[in-house]
Amino acid sequence: MHARSAAPSRDPGLPDARGPRAEPPWSAHAALIEASRCLYCFNAPCSRACPAGVDVAEFIRSIRTGALRSAARLVLSANALGETCGCVCPTEMLCVGECVLGAIDGQQPIAIGRLQRFALHWARSRRLRLFEAAPPSGKQIALIGAGPASLACAHELVRLGHQPVLLECAESPGGLNRTAIAPHKMDTDLPLAEAEWLVGFGAQVRYGVRVGVDVPFAELERDYDAIFIGVGLGPDRKLGVPREEAEGVMGAIELLHRIKSGDFVRPPAWERVLVVGGGNSAIDAARTLKEIGTPEVILVYRRNEEQMKGYPHEWLAAKMAGVTASFLTQPVEVLAKEGRARGLRCIRMTLGDADESGRLRPVPVPESESELAGDAVVVAIGQADPQELLPGLPEDIRIAGGRIVVSPETGVTSRPDYFAGGDCTNGGAEVVNAAAEGLRAARAIDHYLSGKGN
């Protein structure tokens, strides 16, 4: 197998990738200039491309006219996580990718994410309360997890007059939005501040509570009027090959979390790191490794470049940072010496017929094993199924293909009193999807509680 030669690191002197790394929010002046370029399209394609359906043209028009409260309210009514989404949404694939200005020669598309972040930052930094809650209904809803899906659901439940109670096993809110987003996109402070602002509107939170372990489901059913599951997916999935427990082998989410929390300094011996996977998490981990000064980072992927699941613009940025790749390469064993990883034994792959997802299936080439040297191995091949996070989940809640099955319109599960949304139902998407699904479920819970059925 072949790894393309390493380009020089963009910034080899950088000691670590701890925040704050994301660019600061725009000034009012910069936002006004950008908002003035918008064509305020009718039935705007950018809004149609947003999974949360944010009314982009209208909130940008509000910025243009100085109505910042109205701009923030417009975003928040569709996406409670609007401020962090302004930093982390893959806008090139969503709203910005559809901006009509981008199709006109010599024009740049509108920087929708940055304008959205500006509007929400303006409101949050003033601790504004943008909505009046409906009169109290007396209904309490348990939300399992305090990640984006539950936060968005809780925000809408408060607006509708209900009392959400978030039960979170970690000690802070935000889920993966706080722990796993690559440091070059966002630090950990912003999602924490956003979550605390949202919770401050009237939700209750209990941290350090693992539902299914510390609190049984029967107790939730007894004490609450409805239950929302927003647990995301489980920890990093393992390769399942010999010697994976060797020192220097870790998952991408674990690595990113440790870097972001300041709990990780690149060992000097990490001269060459192998990152296994071809999705966005693999690309984020590889680029972050370059940013903390790793001289050589090689993506090890079993398909070819065209079949990568990661976004092309993210992969291009990683390549520009110096990440290289060994395509059509599948690890079959971790190589270790005295308990420490020293590389991977891999088998060469070729591409066969299309699989269920439409991508070409990787097929091993017989007798093609070879060794790929590396001082550490980062595994980014997905996350464990959500049921691993929920011991004792009632059996009549349907799970299929590693996802909790819900109605896409309402988020209701196979039981009328249980709702779900976010990664645990969509199999792992973006923060904006989790926020949209949380909001949708809140409205369906309201409908259920008002006795109108589902």
Which residues bind to ligand SF4, rule: CB under 6 A?
50, 52, 54, 56, 79, 85-86, 89, 91, 94-95, 112-113, 116, 432
The token pair that represents 382 in the structure block:
């997905």
- 176 touches ligand FAD by CB under 6 A: yes
Please, which residue, 56 or 399, has the CB nearer to ligand SF4?
56
The answer to whether 169 contacts ligand FAD (rule: CB under 6 A) is yes
Sign of the CA dihedral with 171 first, then 236, 273, and 282 last: negative
Contact of residue 50 among ligand SF4, ligand FAD, none (CB under 5-8 Å per partner type): ligand SF4
CB of 161 to ligand FAD, least distance (A): 23
Residue in 83, 98, 291, 430 binding ligand FAD, rule: CB under 6 A: 430
423 near ligand FAD (CB under 6 A) = yes
State in angstroms the smallest separation of the CB of 198 from ligand FAD. Answer: 13
Cα(38)–Cα(131) distance, integer angstroms: 27
The verdict on 422 binding ligand FAD (CB under 6 A) reads: yes
Q: How many residues touch ligand FAD (CB under 6 A)?
A: 39
Q: Name the minimum Å distance from CB 75 to ligand FAD.
A: 15
Under rule CB under 6 A, which residues in 207-266 are in contact with ligand FAD?
210-212, 230-232, 252-253, 256
> What is the rounded end-to-end Cα distance, in angstroms, of the chain?
55
> 241 or 436: whose CB is closer to ligand FAD?
436
**389 touches, from ligand SF4, ligand FAD, none (C-beta below 5 to 8 Å by class):** ligand FAD
Minimum Å distance from CB 318 to ligand FAD? 13
Q: Which stretch binds ligand FAD (CB under 6 A): 1-9, 165-173, 361-369, 439-447?
A: 165-173
- The helix/strand count (H/E) of the chain reads as 16, 16
Give whichever of 78 and 399 is closer to ligand SF4, judged by the CB atom.
78
C-alpha distance from residue 208 to each of 146, 189, 197, 221, 254 (Å): 11, 20, 20, 20, 19
Binding test (CB under 6 A) with ligand FAD, winner from 34, 168, 375, 385 = 168
Nearer to ligand SF4, 374 or 422 (CB): 422
Q: Nearest Cα to 389, choosing from 416, 358, 423? A: 423
When asked if residue 170 is in the footprint of ligand FAD (CB under 6 A), the reply is yes
> What H or E segment, with its residue span, contains residue 325?
strand 324-326
HSE-CB of 142 using CA atoms within 13 angstroms: 25
Q: Closest separation between CB of residue 407 and ligand SF4, Å?
A: 23
168: enclosing H helix or E strand: strand 163-168
Strand arrangement of the beta sheet that strand 226-229 belongs to = 204-207, 163-168, 140-144, 226-229, 418-420
Identify the CA nearest to 423 among candidates 381, 385, 449, 375.
385
Query: Which CB, 379 or 439, lies closer to ligand SF4?
Result: 439
Task: Count other C-beta atoms under 10 Å from residue 388's C-beta.
Answer: 13
| Other C-beta atoms lying within 10 Å of the C-beta of residue 106 | 5
CB of 106 to ligand SF4, least distance (A): 23
- 52 vs 282 by CB, closer to ligand SF4: 52
Burial group, residue 218, by CB count within 10 angstroms (0-12, 13-18, 19+)? exposed
| Residue type at position 403 | R
State the pairing for strand pair 329-337/163-168.
unpaired
User: 344 or 432: whose CB is closer to ligand FAD?
Assistant: 432
**Residues 298/303/304/307 CA torsion (nearest 10 deg):** -120
**β-bridge partners, 107:** none
In the complex, least distance from residue 102 CB atom to ligand SF4, rounded to whole angstroms: 13
Q: SS3 for 140?
A: strand
Cα separation, 31 vs 42, whole angstroms: 21
Q: Whose Cβ is closer to ligand SF4: residue 168's or residue 430's?
A: 430
Is 21 an interacting residue with respect to ligand FAD (CB under 6 A)? no
Residues that bind ligand FAD (CB under 6 A): 88-89, 144-150, 167-170, 175-177, 180-181, 185, 210-212, 230-232, 252-253, 256, 281, 284, 389-390, 422-423, 429-432, 434
